Amino acid sequence: MSKILLVEDNEMNRDMLSRRLERKGYQVVLATDGQAGVDMARSETPDLVLMDMSLPVLDGWEATRRLKADPATRHIPVIALTAHAMSSDREKALEAGCDEYDTKPIELPRLLGKMEALLGGPAAEAAP
C-alpha cells in the first residue's frame, strides 16, 4: 500500500481528498501547512507528496524546494495541486522541483493516473 502525504490547509479539501484516496487503497497522512509537510515528509517518508501550493507558514513552492534540497526527501515525487490554472503556475511549480502538476477541482482519474505513473503502478493492486 502506497503512503501518500497530503499537504492541504483547507479542511474540507483535505477531508474529501484523503477519503477518496483511502477508498482507492492508499494510506494517507496529513499535514496542514508547508512546514508541517516538510517535517512529516522527513518523519513519515511517504511514497508521494500531494502539495497544495497556497499554504500558511511555508508555501508549497518553498516547501517543495526544501524537500528537493534534502537528500533524505529529494527522491519523493511531489505533485503540485493548485486552484490556479495558468501555465505560469505550472512552470513555477516545476521550477520549484515538483514532478507533476494538477489543478482543482480534482478530476480523480486524472490525478490517479499521474500518481500511478510516479509510483510505478496502480495502488489498487496493493489494496486489501
Partner 1 sequence: MSEPAAPVEPVRHPLPPELIHELRTPLTQIIGYSELLIEQAVEAGDTGYLADLRKVNAAGYRLLALMEESFQSVRTPAPATDAARGPACIPQPDEGADATR
Instruction: Please give the residue ranges that form the binding site for partner 1 (CB under 8 A).
Output: 10, 12-13, 16-17, 19-20, 23, 83-88, 90, 103-106, 108
Q: Which is nearer to partner 1, 43 or 87 (CB)?
A: 87
**What is the C-alpha to C-alpha distance for residues 119 and 88, in angstroms, rounded to an integer?**
26
**What is the C-alpha to C-alpha distance for residues 17 and 122, in angstroms, rounded to an integer?**
17
From residue 35, alpha-carbon distances to 7, 12, 59, 109 in Å are 10, 20, 8, 29
From residue 125, alpha-carbon distances to 67, 116, 121, 122 in Å are 28, 11, 8, 6
For the chain, give the number of residues: 128
Q: Which is nearer to partner 1, 69 or 86 (CB)?
A: 86
CB of 11 to partner 1, least distance (A): 10
CB of 20 to partner 1, least distance (A): 6
CB of 98 to partner 1, least distance (A): 15
CB of 123 to partner 1, least distance (A): 16
What proportions of the chain, in percent to the nearest 5, are helix, strand and coil?
Answer: 45, 20, 35
Q: Which is nearer to partner 1, 22 or 70 (CB)?
A: 22
Q: Which is nearer to partner 1, 78 or 93 (CB)?
A: 93
